Structure 1
Amino acid sequence: MAKRKIQSNDKGFKKRYWAVPDAFIIIFGISVLAAIATYIIPAGMYEREEVGDITQAVPGSFRFVDSSPASLMDLFLAIQQGMIESGNIIFLIFMIGGTVAILESTGAIDAGINTLIRKTRGNKTLLIAVVSAIFGIICTVGVASNAVIAFIPIGIGLARAMKLDAIAGVAIVYLGYYVGNTAGVLEPTILGIAQTIAELPLFSGLLLRLAVFIALLAVTIIYVCRYVNKISRDPSQSLMADNPFMDNPSAEVNGEHSNDTFTKKHIVIILIFFSFIGIFLYGALNLGWSIDELSAIFIMMGVTVAIVDKITPNEFMRRFMNGARSITYGALVVGIARAVIVVMEDGRILDTIVHGALIPLESLPVILGAQALYLFNLLFNLLVTSGSGQASIVMPLMVPLVDMLDITRQTGVLALKLGDGITNIITPTSGVLMAVLAIGKVSWTKWVRFVFPLVLWWTAVGAVFMGIAVMINYGPF
């Protein structure tokens, strides 16, 4: 529970100060609210139909069904069910944590990043811009958003070498990556589902989405660089000033070596890391690989690095378990975050929320209607963070609605993409975000303090482009 601090003033009265609640408490509180909502919001459902490989809601098929409110037992069972449904992400976090501990213990990551910094003469702005842009491009051309979890150690290593904090390390990689996810210039999954349902050519409307990508990337780089410059001038301004990387005392696990010379063995280990990541990216793009395969890739990576560095099996397991143990907190947060969705799905209120929110939009003017659709998707994504899930639920209902409002279907797709991407960087119900924060050892509450102003900037940029889409009658091509 949150710790209470008591302080006496000159008059002898006691002032009470309450710390920010722990992430577990906040998320469980959201689950309680969701459970209460199942008693207030009527249960309802849309019929679903299979269209090709897509299971989508049928417009006009909404009906109220028997209420299924969450009992006290249901509320706590949802935690168990959330852990089960998030099991692949939870185990991925443990696998990455253990493998990264092996990598860091070799000194290769620190030595390689220190060499990179020396080569760029310590230009932090250049490094941040280049790294963020690279990961943004990787995501926006189709590499699944959950793959960003694998790259977080790079950002953490970069931030450590530049004497920043873990928040900066996560932001450099994760925010750049999610710019690509939000714009979705050539992203075939969420964009593909949305455009298929809207009967639009795949990847059509590319130029405006490219402009969205450039605008969001510029805003993000400026925002992150301002934070980096601030904490570089005064480390006490860091949101993690008390412990910038949540380090364990063991320097061996964290890879803190006094000799950062980049040796031939370090080069081989770095090549092993990128080779295995390359294998996963190939599998993700061509073989449908996802989180399960990424876990396997990291285990194989760790074993290969141990062989190269001549780490004994017992020593391998000791280092691996130390790394996995250090991120247990973050791994379990992912499961309890999923519990919120479990409560709402079992209570059958998600479809009712969609139906109740979209129907009133039918009478709005064009500009207001487009912005309202955008706002709805922003807020709905706080509940359903799966982009493909959101597209299959919302897009079939939006198509007749945008036709009625005289808004182009491409504008409707843009509203869904922007809404799906922006709030993913803050919502605790996002398994990917919570996994990223677990790997980076950043608490969700501190992350929210850092990223919330950027969410507002992204939201404003999205609103501008929604307005542009309406004015130019944003069409198929």
Structure 2
Amino acid sequence: MSKKKGEGLKSFNRGFNVPDTYIIIFFVVVIAAVMTFLVPKGYYETEDVTYLMNGVEKTRTVIKDGSFQYLTDAAGKPVTEGVALFSGDGGTGFFNYMYNGIISSSAIEIIAFLMVVGGAFGIMIRTGAVEAGLIGLIRKAKGAEKLLIPVLFVLFSLGGAVFGMGEEALPFTMILCPLFVAVGYDTVIAVLVTYVATQIGFGSSWMNPFSVGIAQGIAGVDVFSGAGFRMVMWVVFTALGCGMTMFYAAKVKKTPEISVAYESDQYFRDQNEKTGIDEGHSFGIGHILVLVTLAVTVVWVIWGVMAKGYYMAEIATQFFIMGIVAGVIGVIFHLNDMKVNDIAVSFKDGAKDLIGAALVVAMAQGIMQVLGGSDPTTPTVINTIMYGISQALAGLSGAAAAVLMYVFQSVFNFFVVSGSGQAAITMPIMAPLADLLGVSRQTSVLAFQLGDAFTNLIVPTSGCLIGSLAIAKIEWSNWIKFMWKFLGILMIGAVITILIAVAIGF
């Protein structure tokens, strides 16, 4: 990949340059701002509905079917209100998008998560225990690195399917990037077996409480029903993703220069040379204790998510505790010649590596702020856009409508990356619309979950994706060069799955 000095532009190919991710998002904000001058504001009425999740009755606020209204003036005409360039009273303005994005509740939690977990794993990585253990294992068993790919892919996909693993994969990307580079692969594979695998599991899940569970509850479908069909779907998509990853890994192993990350991976090659990862490590009791700390933390996180409903705040704290314990062990056993101050330095370095990703998360949330936010009862442009798209689907055949629902969910995911958030906004409209079009509500949920997850692999508004790429030092433009074929195959598979669901009356 070539880079023009001073311009920050990354090349897809000759004659065409793609701007930095920050520039791309800025232009998206510009488009959003222009839309506020063209699209009138609209809103819905809501009501509370109850549904069962794991045998417990819960209540959720949903949009009333047919309740959409335009905000009108005294003459009864729809109101169009363009966003101001600057707001001096704490409100929404075009140039306020950065700050408002940072302080928005949905962004600040992800940003804090990235900083804390990044710092914690900075300490963990500084001990050298993970690299020492895995590299030692790989060197003792020739070809064992090949087994890491399918094993890790299945495990992370299972994490996405069972408890909605997403942000939790970021720390493991930190560990695997230097490892895969050291054994002759690239950082693309590290992202594939962690973040990409979780999203494939997320999209094909049969029991993810944060997407399938919420969507089915809103749609009035028994929560976690249709598990048999979805389990088969998970196996197929996981096998497909794993197979494509292994095929790519074999090509990169043979010809490393074909990797879109070949140049950026020099960072990890240099780091591996400095830390001696390519030379092998002694493996003692200190390394074992650090790895035990990591393993216990992973089990603790899974237990917390499954049994206690832990989310980012609790998970970040769990990893923070892990980092402190690992640092103390590193100092006591002099791992990589660690001293007390190295705990603080490595924490700062780990957090610093994710500052760029944190700012992208903030800017992505700023887009929704410019469009007025996602509250269905507040007159906003996004509500009107939702209404217009839902009306455009009326009158289509069941199969065509189901596929277009999937396409719509895939596009809408650009604006609302959160699975539970997208379910809360779209399913109250898509579920009753499915009734009118002869599509089962179960299939409308299927279209939602597939559309919600797979485009997370490319959209720059996904904080998890950008965080993973930042860890791997991969430019978003380079990632798109690699991922478009991968995603295309997944999306074709998604369309086929939806058509099968319609055909069998799922």
TM-score (norm 1): 0.91
Displacement of 1:305: 0.8
Question: Which residue in 1 is equivalent to 2:65?
Answer: 59
Question: Which residue in 1 is equivalent to 2:226?
Answer: 205
Aligned with 1:329 (options 356, 359, 366): 356
Question: Which residue in 2 is equivalent to 1:31?
Answer: 29
The verdict on how the C-alpha distance between 1:470 and 1:259 changes in structure 2, with shifts beyond 3 A counting, is closer
Work out whether residues 344 and 350 of structure 1, in 8 Å CA contact, stay in contact via their aligned partners in 2. yes
1:348-398 per-residue CA deviation (whole Å, 9 max, x = no partner) reads 121111110111222111211111111111111111111111111111212
1:139-178 matches, cutoff 5 A:
139-178=160-199
The verdict on how the C-alpha distance between 1:327 and 1:391 changes in structure 2, with shifts beyond 3 A counting, is closer
Q: C-alpha distance in 1, partners of 2:110/2:66? A: 35
The verdict on how the C-alpha distance between 1:312 and 1:50 changes in structure 2, with shifts beyond 3 A counting, is farther
Displacement of 1:251: 6.2
Q: C-alpha distance in 2, partners of 1:417/1:18? A: 34
1:211-250 per-residue CA deviation (whole Å, 9 max, x = no partner) reads 2212211221122222222221122111121131644966
Aligned with 2:414 (options 382, 386, 390): 382
1:242-261 matches, cutoff 5 A:
242-244=263-265, 246-247=267-268, 256=277, 258-261=279-282
Aligned with 1:461 (options 479, 488, 493): 493
Aligned AA (2:36): T
Displacement of 1:55: 2.4
Unaligned runs of 5+ in 1: 7-15
The verdict on how the C-alpha distance between 1:307 and 1:33 changes in structure 2, with shifts beyond 3 A counting, is same
Question: Which residue in 2 is equivalent to 1:238?
Answer: 259
Question: Which residue in 2 is equivalent to 1:425?
Answer: 457
1:402-413 matches, cutoff 5 A:
402-413=434-445
Aligned AA (1:83): I
1:15-94 matches, cutoff 5 A:
19-52=17-50, 53-65=59-71, 66-73=79-86, 74-85=93-104, 86-94=107-115
Work out whether residues 110 and 255 of structure 1, in 8 Å CA contact, stay in contact via their aligned partners in 2. no
Work out whether residues 104 and 253 of structure 1, in 8 Å CA contact, stay in contact via their aligned partners in 2. no
Work out whether residues 131 and 172 of structure 1, in 8 Å CA contact, stay in contact via their aligned partners in 2. yes
Question: Which residue in 1 is equivalent to 2:11?
Answer: none
TM-score (norm 2): 0.86
Aligned AA (2:199): Y
Work out whether residues 99 and 323 of structure 1, in 8 Å CA contact, stay in contact via their aligned partners in 2. yes
Look up the SS of the partner of 1:468 in the other structure.
Answer: helix
Q: C-alpha distance in 2, partners of 1:316/1:5? A: 35
Q: C-alpha distance in 2, partners of 1:37/1:351? A: 12
The verdict on how the C-alpha distance between 1:195 and 1:120 changes in structure 2, with shifts beyond 3 A counting, is farther
The verdict on how the C-alpha distance between 1:37 and 1:306 changes in structure 2, with shifts beyond 3 A counting, is same
Question: Which residue in 2 is equivalent to 1:12?
Answer: none
Q: C-alpha distance in 2, partners of 1:132/1:208? A: 21
Look up the SS of the partner of 1:50 in the other structure.
Answer: strand
Unaligned runs of 5+ in 2: 8-13, 51-58, 72-78, 87-92, 332-337, 374-378
What is the RMSD computed on CA atoms of the aligned residues?
A: 2.4
Q: C-alpha distance in 2, partners of 1:409/1:283? A: 31
Question: Which residue in 1 is equivalent to 2:75?
Answer: none
Look up the SS of the partner of 2:371 in the other structure.
Answer: helix
Q: C-alpha distance in 1, partners of 2:266/2:365? A: 26
Q: C-alpha distance in 2, partners of 1:276/1:253? A: 28
Aligned with 1:104 (options 125, 128, 149): 125
Aligned AA (2:286): K
Moved more, 255-264 or 167-176: 255-264
Work out whether residues 174 and 471 of structure 2, in 8 Å CA contact, stay in contact via their aligned partners in 1. yes
Aligned AA (2:319): F
The verdict on how the C-alpha distance between 1:248 and 1:57 changes in structure 2, with shifts beyond 3 A counting, is farther
Aligned with 2:200 (options 149, 157, 179): 179
Identity of aligned residues (%): 31
The verdict on how the C-alpha distance between 1:105 and 1:146 changes in structure 2, with shifts beyond 3 A counting, is closer
Work out whether residues 112 and 262 of structure 1, in 8 Å CA contact, stay in contact via their aligned partners in 2. yes
The verdict on how the C-alpha distance between 1:399 and 1:105 changes in structure 2, with shifts beyond 3 A counting, is closer
Q: C-alpha distance in 2, partners of 1:256/1:333? A: 31
Question: Which residue in 2 is equivalent to 1:451?
Answer: 483
Q: C-alpha distance in 2, partners of 1:393/1:245? A: 43
Aligned with 1:416 (options 448, 451, 462): 448
Aligned AA (1:328): I
The verdict on how the C-alpha distance between 1:130 and 1:68 changes in structure 2, with shifts beyond 3 A counting, is same
Aligned with 1:302 (options 323, 328, 345): 323
Question: Which residue in 2 is equivalent to 1:224?
Answer: 245
Aligned AA (2:343): F
Moved more, 106-115 or 44-53: 44-53
1:269 equivalenced with 2:275 (yes/no): no
1:107-122 matches, cutoff 5 A:
107-118=128-139, 120-122=141-143
Moved more, 257-266 or 396-405: 257-266
Look up the SS of the partner of 1:429 in the other structure.
Answer: coil
The verdict on how the C-alpha distance between 1:193 and 1:255 changes in structure 2, with shifts beyond 3 A counting, is farther
1:275-327 per-residue CA deviation (whole Å, 9 max, x = no partner) reads 12222222222222211222212221111011111144322112222232233
Moved more, 293-302 or 119-128: 119-128
Question: Which residue in 1 is equivalent to 2:376?
Answer: none
The verdict on how the C-alpha distance between 1:324 and 1:142 changes in structure 2, with shifts beyond 3 A counting, is closer
Question: Which residue in 2 is equivalent to 1:13?
Answer: none
Aligned with 1:349 (options 358, 374, 381): 381
1:393-452 per-residue CA deviation (whole Å, 9 max, x = no partner) reads 111212221111111111111111111111111111122222222333332222222212
1:392 equivalenced with 2:391 (yes/no): no
The verdict on how the C-alpha distance between 1:46 and 1:138 changes in structure 2, with shifts beyond 3 A counting, is same
